[in-house]
Amino acid sequence: METMSSPAGQGGLFLLQFAVGLVIFALMLRFLMRAAHVDWRHPIVHFIAKVTNPLCAPANKILSTRGRWDWAAILTAVVIQAIFVWVIGLLTDRDFGAVAIALASITEIMNQLLDMMFWLIIIQAILSWVSPGYNPNTEIFNQITRPILAPFQRMIPPMGGLDLSPLAAIVAIKLFQIVVVGSIVQLAQGML
Q: In this structure, is residue 150 part of a structural domain?
A: yes
Q: Which of 119, 118, 123, 141 is nearest to 44 (CA)?
A: 141
**By percentage, how much of the chain surpasses pLDDT 90?**
44
pLDDT in tens, 6-25: 787 788 888 989 999 999 99
Determine the structural domain holding residue 79 and report its residue range: 7-191
Residue 1 has pLDDT above 60, yes or no: no
Q: In this structure, is residue 1 part of a structural domain?
A: no
Q: Which of 136, 27, 37 is nearest to 77 (CA)?
A: 27
Cα–Cα dist 30/116, whole Å = 11
Q: In this structure, is residue 124 part of a structural domain?
A: yes
pLDDT of residue 129: 82
pLDDT in tens, 24-74: 999 999 999 998 888 888 888 899 999 999 999 888 888 776 778 889 999
Q: In this structure, is residue 109 part of a structural domain?
A: yes
**By percentage, how much of the chain surpasses pLDDT 70?**
95
**Dihedral of alpha carbons 24, 175, 180, 156, sign:** negative
Q: In this structure, is residue 23 part of a structural domain?
A: yes
Q: In this structure, is residue 89 part of a structural domain?
A: yes
**How many domains does the chain fold into?**
1
Q: In this structure, is residue 2 part of a structural domain?
A: no
The reported pTM is 0.83
